Structure 1
Amino acid sequence: MPTPVSQRVKKRRDVLRAAGLRPVQIWVPDTRRPGFETECRRQAALVAQADRADVGLNGFIDAALIDMDGWD
């Protein structure tokens, strides 16, 4: 006779807890929601506009990348 799903889930969670883990619930945007793509495009356009206006941004990013050389 197969083990009920709730018992299998409990067993798995007990093993994970014993390994020092804990459950965490994460809420993320619903990419299927109407208007999601439009909002992404709107925000991306705002970021691109801000990037074009910040003349020192590329130099800052380049310096940060150089600083990371040798990191593993």
Structure 2
Amino acid sequence: MSEITERVNRHRQQLRKAGLRPIQIWVPDTRRPEFQEECRRQSRMLRENPQEQKILDWLEAAADREGWD
């Protein structure tokens, strides 16, 4: 076993001892042209939606930007 593999295994064991477990998740591939087009499609659908504007207004009012300058 290589040194790197041993180090990774030790690290994973420490995480398990701390009560954590590994998981694997699959997410959309943002590099695909289809992903970009779907983002555009969904954005266009929401552009004139009054409910969406209410949500955006609420997020703007609730945002805590202190210290983010």
How would you bin the TM-score normalised by the shorter chain?
Answer: 0.5 to 0.7
Greater radius of gyration (CA): 1
Percentage of matched positions with identical amino acids? 35
CA RMSD, 1 decimal: 2.8
SS of 2:50 mapped into structure 1: coil
Match of 1:51 in 2: 46
> Could you list the runs of 5+ residues in structure 1 that have no partner in the other structure?
none
* Aligned position for 2:24: 25
What TM-score, normalized to structure 1? 0.57
Number of corresponding residues: 64
TM-score, with structure 2 as normaliser: 0.59
Moved over 4 A (4+): none
Q: Could you tell me how far apart the structure 1 residues matched to 2:61 and 2:45 are?
A: 23
Query: Take 2:47 and 2:30, find their aligned partners in 1: how far apart are those partners?
Result: 28
Cα 1:41/1:20, change in 2 over 3 Å: same
Q: What 5-or-longer segments of structure 2 have no aligned partner?
A: none
